[in-house]
Amino acid sequence: MNHKSVEAISPLDGRYRASLDTVAAGWSEGALIRARIRVELHWVRFLYLHVPTLFRGQTFTSDNWLSGVYETEAAVLRVKEIECETGHDVKAVEYFLRETLQREGYPSQVLALLHFGLTSEDVNNLAYGCMLSQFRTQELLPTMDRVVAALTEKASLYKDCAMVSRTHGQVASPTTMGKALTVHAHRLQRQRDQLASLEILGKLNGAVGDYHGLAIAVAEANWPELTHHFITDTLGLTQNPWTTQIESHDNLIEHLDALKRYNGISLDLCQHIWWYISFGYFGQQVKDTQVGSSVMPHKVNPIDFENAEGNFGISSGLIEHMGRKLPISRLQRDLTDSTTLRNLGTVFAHHSLAQRALLKGLGKIELQPEVMKQELENKWEVLGEALQTCLRKEGVLDAYERVKDWTRGKGPITQADFQQWVRSCAELSKETQAQLLKLTPGLYTGEASRLVDDFVSKWK
């Protein structure tokens, strides 16, 4: 860590910066400028191919525009220099391209058609849409897939490892660790799939959404149809034809809401594993050089899950504000969405940090089946459910009440207690008695193992 990062206000640019290269590549100021450059250049190229009369017979080659030659670090810095003069970020991109293309000898009509018929929000919303599409494909979904894969692998491995369940914090019918992890894997997979299925909207329709400039310049062109092809075929987004000056952000909020649900489920997972570590169900791999406590040498803290929990929470907190702010824009637009959107990278950065910590933590935990087995052996009262259900099957009307009187508040119940009670139930058939006498808390896990197998086979 250098002096600059030590002095950073945000830990994203300080303590955690080395872990956020992929987020910076997708959501930094430079990434936004590069996306704007691509939109502007693609638009001129699209006009050349589909509305050639605009170019008044002037010809040019634009193949190198797709190579990223105008998206270098030097280009981004030059745009920022121009912005210092203009005070306008999108206009700075236009001026940068004009001076660059002019220096390279492009025809005057090409220069004149830079930013043709556009408003800044046409460029911005399409740039953000492209950034979201790329980041979702290259970073968000693959990382979610890795988390689900890690959970599913452990679920399959631990599908038969019985443990005490707890409902309302109290001992309940046993389950398996594999089944417990499967629940979270399934929940996360659903949110991942919903996020992947969302379309990404974009608009290109001028200052208040009515194609004014385009329609007055080339009245005979079908601009809603042309811009539809540009947005869908060139940029790979979905057109939103009915907007004000801004794309309404409802679609972006849908993405953020899906991410918030994913964050919430992940936070719940982190807390579950934290408790399982506290119970001794999971041990953690130890690195000799690391310190768990400044005063208690024995400690191995579940810091990865705690860090993940904190960062999932921050990410979701920012999303909640965006969900309240972004749907609201005064009349045909105000600028409050602009500064809000600039914090999308912060949302994804905290989410990314949380995912990294969660994956790291999952890679370090090791199941302690003997701990779980020993605890179960002292919890014979959990078989009360099995007993009262079998009595109901035999037609005993007060089955629940009888078992409640036997178990509730009576202190520890042993194997001998349970078996004596089974033998004393005259209403139970010999077959049912034999079945119950073979039962132990560790064997009373219902269909937990099968449920894990069903998910694993579906997931694969």
Task: Tell me the HSE value of 105 on the side-chain side, using a 13 A CA sphere.
Answer: 2
Catalytic choice (10, 108, 278, 293):
293
Does 272 participate in catalysis according to the annotation? no
- Report CA torsion sign: 280, 283, 288, 289: negative
Report the length, in residues, of the chain: 460
Q: Which of 107, 125, 136 is nearest to 44 (CA)?
A: 107
- Report CA torsion sign: 10, 14, 16, 22: positive
- Bridge pairing between strands 365-367 and 282-284: antiparallel
- 13 burial type by CB count under 10 A (0-12 exposed, 13-18 middle, 19+ buried): middle
Q: Which of 386, 388, 309 is nearest to 350 (CA)?
A: 309
Q: Which of 178, 97, 55 is nearest to 445 (CA)?
A: 178
Phi, psi of 273 (to 5 degrees): -65, -35
Residue type, 79: V
DSSP secondary structure string for all residues of 396-424? -TTHHHHHHHHHTTS----HHHHHHHHHH
**Cα 66 to chain centroid, rounded:** 30
Catalytic choice (3, 67, 168, 197):
168
Does 88 participate in catalysis according to the annotation? no
CA angle 197, 320, 244 (to 5 degrees): 70
Instruction: Show which residues are catalytic.
Output: 168, 293
